[in-house]
Structure formats: structure tokens, C-alpha cells
């Protein structure tokens, strides 16, 4: 009888502990390597979201614990990270950053019934070919981004000689291909289409080739590190070619690489979430701690917000119940009120054209989710020195989502 009572008491303790156990969730991205500045954005956003959710009472009365995975934007390492999360029993991962990491990792998450919400992976295949219904993203897609970029180049630089280059990654090539598609659909043809190898330090040969071809604007599908180097090397050769790229330039490190050579760089990115009223307290808290809210910080925060809200609505962290809640719910987040469509894509406004100037980026033009250009006087800053008939002096570059 005594043993039975002890066993019963132990069982009660186990059950009580389970009722109030911590919930470990994951965040994954390039925490090391040449794209570590973006991993840092994901980590900062995740840590702040977990701290704020826990301070408000947690999720269904349980506290969140964050596990950080470093994939270095490498597909094999991303799969290893996904398997590590599975061994930890995490129900949810905010990640990854690079599409080339998110796509292979998503198969592991689907197999292990782990909900994945990427804050930053923009390649259409991530959701178009998702291996399970628990794969989502809170950022836009490269076909949306490419439509905005392709149309913008055709309309703003109608007589320019345009080069479209890419780094051969899932993100970079996909974004460059989509931009070229819509640029050509507007009745234009690029004067030069090339690929380059990410991670190199000297792009003199490519820069020289563009100079000899008289390129007025180069669109780069790739990361900010290589783009920044190209910007500098172009200016060193006396080129005033405009550089334009995608959302991989939303890092202060880009300007640290380029210096003044980055002046006038154009890029596409979603509407700046730091301008959202709902994000103001989070931005203030981060700035108070000396941390950045740039780029994908708030997108990571929003991914965790949406999952936590879905868990609260489901009353459980069980995969099927949370997936149903994510599919059916509307979520108020720091990047706006969002809903997921039947592919797992987010229904938010699409992309905005930005210009880098004096170490900061701000709006040039805005776009709706379908990619149609429109003026937004409340949120636009005219691009200084821009002339629709004549390319302005600029420099800029790329990322790898």
C-alpha cells in the first residue's frame, strides 16, 4: 500500500510538472558565417518575443524556452539543425533565413510534425512545394518581389542598359529570374545576364565586363556581402552604374561594407515594420537595450506571436490542432494583422522600393501584394537625384532568403 501511495504521489508530481512544463521552441538561421548579421536579426527577434510572451504569462500558462540553431545558410547543416530540434521535441521553429536552408529543413519538420514559420525565406518553392501543411512564412515571395523590381526598372529606367546577375543560390537565382521575367514582360531585354560565385572577394572581372558593356543599372540576386564588394569595386573603376537588389540588403552591415559607394543603392523589401504602431513598444525596448529592430527582427517576432496565438486558440501545442488554428485564424502582430492562405503564404502588403542614403534606407515607392506600383504620400520619401529618364548615381546589392 505504501509503495502504491508513493507511486501515486510520484505520478501526481509528474502530471503536475507536465501541466506547468516549459515549452522549448527553436529559431534557426546563419548564426555564424558571412551572413551572420541576418542570423543575428532572427535571434534578436526571437529572444525579444519569448521574453515578452513569458512576461505576459507565457502560452497556456507555460513559459517558453528558446533553442538556437546555426545553419550557416548551408543546406546540409540546416537539415542537421532540424534533426537536432526534433530530438529536443520542439513543437515549433521560427526559421530558417535562407531559402536554400528552409526548403530541405522543411521536409524534416513535416516528417516530425513540427510547425515551421519562416520569417525570411522568399523562394516560391518553399510554400508552393511544401512537404506538409505545417509550413508557413510571414514574409513575401520572390515572384511578388521580382514583379515589383522588374516593373520598377522598366518604368523608371526605360532607356537603361540593364544587367541581371545572380549568385546561383535558391534565393539569389530565383529572385533574379523573377525580376528578369517581369522586366521582359514589360517589353524590355537585359543587355547582360550573368552568374557569379558567392563568397569570393574579387569581382573585378565581372565588374570590368559590365563596364565594357556600358551597363547603366545592375540588378543583383544574392547577398549583401558580395553586393557590397561589387558596389565598391564598381566605384573604384569609375562606374556610376545604379545597383538594385532585393531584401538581402536590409542590414546595416551592407553600408559598413560599401561606405559612400552604397549611396543610391535601390532594393525591395516589405513595408518597414518599424513604422507600425503595434511595433512601437517592441522597437523602443530593443533600442533601449542597444539592439536593432532592422530587417527581419520583427518578422521573427511576428512568427512567434502567430504561433503562440494559435497555440492559445488551440489550447494545445499538438501539431494538427495548431496547424488548424494557423490556417483558420487572424493574427495581430508587430508586422500587422495577418492571415495565412492555403499555401501557407501570408496575406500582407507586398514589397516597397527603398534607397540607401547616408547609411540608412527609406521608401522610394510602395507596392501592393500583387506587385502593382502605387504612390503612398504618407509613407514615401522621394529618391534624391532620381530622374525617370536618366539613371541616378547609385550603388547597391543583395541577400539570400
- 143-271+352-374 classified as CATH 3.40.50.1970: no
Q: What share of the chain is helix, strand, coil (3-state, %, to 5)?
A: 45, 20, 35
Q: How far is CA 150 from CA 154, 157, 321, 380, 387, in A?
A: 6, 10, 40, 20, 17
Whether a cis peptide bond, with omega within 30° of 0, leads into 345 is: no
Q: 53-56 long-range CB contacts below 8 Å, 24 or more apart?
A: 53/304, 53/305, 53/308
Residue with cell 514574409: 139
Check if the beta carbon of residue 246 is closer than 8 Å to that of residue 175: yes
pTM of the model: 0.83
Residue with cell 515572384: 143
Question: Helices 142-156 and 170-185, interaxial angle, to 10°?
Answer: 40
Domain extents in the chain: 2-139+275-338, 143-271+352-374
Q: What is the pLDDT along the chain (401 residues), one digit of tens a residue?
A: 333 333 333 333 333 344 457 999 999 999 999 999 999 999 999 999 999 999 999 999 999 999 999 999 999 999 999 999 999 999 999 999 999 999 999 999 999 999 999 999 999 999 999 999 999 999 999 999 999 999 999 999 999 999 999 999 999 999 999 999 999 999 999 999 999 999 999 999 999 999 999 999 999 999 999 999 999 999 999 999 999 999 999 999 999 999 999 999 999 999 999 999 999 999 999 999 999 999 999 999 999 999 999 999 999 999 999 999 999 999 999 999 999 999 999 988 889 999 999 999 999 854 443 333 333 333 333 233 333 332 233 333 333 45
Task: Give yes or no on whether 2-139+275-338 and 143-271+352-374 have one common fold.
Answer: yes
Topology given in CATH for the domain delimited by 2-139+275-338: Rossmann fold (3.40.50)
Amino acid at each position: 500500500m505504501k509503495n502504491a501511495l508513493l507511486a501515486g504521489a510520484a505520478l501526481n508530481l509528474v502530471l503536475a510538472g507536465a501541466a506547468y512544463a516549459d515549452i522549448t521552441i527553436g529559431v534557426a538561421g546563419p548564426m555564424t558565417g558571412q551572413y551572420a548579421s541576418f542570423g543575428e536579426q532572427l535571434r534578436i527577434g526571437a529572444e525579444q518575443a519569448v521574453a515578452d510572451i513569458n512576461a505576459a504569462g507565457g502560452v497556456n500558462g507555460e513559459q517558453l524556452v528558446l533553442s538556437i540553431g546555426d545553419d550557416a545558410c548551408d543546406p546540409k547543416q540546416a537539415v542537421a539543425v532540424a534533426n537536432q530540434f526534433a530530438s529536443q521535441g520542439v513543437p515549433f521553429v521560427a526559421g530558417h533565413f535562407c531559402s536554400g536552408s528552409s526548403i530541405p529543413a522543411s521536409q524534416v519538420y513535416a516528417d516530425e510534425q513540427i510547425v515551421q514559420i519562416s520569417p525570411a525565406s522568399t523562394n516560391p518553392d518553399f510554400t508552393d512545394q511544401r512537404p506538409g501543411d505545417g509550413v508557413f512564412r510571414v514574409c513575401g515571395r520572390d515572384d511578388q518581389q521580382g514583379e515589383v523590381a522588374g516593373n520598377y526598372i522598366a518604368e523608371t529606367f526605360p532607356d537603361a542598359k540593364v544587367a541581371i546577375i545572380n549568385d546561383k543560390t535558391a534565393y539569389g537565382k530565383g529572385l533574379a529570374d523573377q525580376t528578369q521575367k517581369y522586366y521582359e514582360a514589360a517589353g524590355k531585354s537585359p543587355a547582360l545576364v550573368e552568374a557569379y560565385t558567392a563568397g569570393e572577394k574579387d569581382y573585378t572581372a565581372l565588374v570590368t565586363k559590365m563596364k565594357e558593356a556600358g551597363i547603366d543599372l545592375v540588378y543583383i540576386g544574392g547577398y549583401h556581402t558580395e553586393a557590397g564588394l561589387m558596389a565598391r569595386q564598381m566605384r573604384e573603376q569609375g562606374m556610376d552604374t545604379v545597383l538594385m537588389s532585393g531584401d538581402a540588403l536590409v542590414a546595416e552591415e551592407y553600408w559598413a561594407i560599401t561606405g559612400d559607394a552604397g549611396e543610391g543603392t535601390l532594393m525591395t523589401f516589405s513595408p518597414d515594420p518599424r513604422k507600425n504602431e503595434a511595433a512601437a513598444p517592441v522597437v523602443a525596448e530593443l533600442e533601449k537595450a542597444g539592439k536593432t529592430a532592422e530587417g527581419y527582427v520583427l518578422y521573427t517576432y511576428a512568427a512567434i506571436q502567430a504561433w503562440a496565438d494559435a497555440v492559445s486558440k488551440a489550447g494545445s501545442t499538438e501539431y494538427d490542432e495548431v496547424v488548424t488554428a494557423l490556417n483558420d485564424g487572424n493574427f495581430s502582430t508587430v508586422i500587422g494583422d495577418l492571415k495565412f492562405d492555403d499555401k501557407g503564404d501570408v496575406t500582407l502588403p507586398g514589397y516597397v522600393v527603398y534607397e540607401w542614403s547616408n547609411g540608412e534606407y527609406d521608401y522610394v515607392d510602395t507596392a501592393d501584394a500583387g506587385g502593382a506600383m502605387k504612390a503612398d504620400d504618407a509613407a514615401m520619401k522621394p529618391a534624391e537625384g532620381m530622374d525617370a529618364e536618366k539613371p541616378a548615381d547609385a550603388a547597391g546589392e543583395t541577400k539570400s532568403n
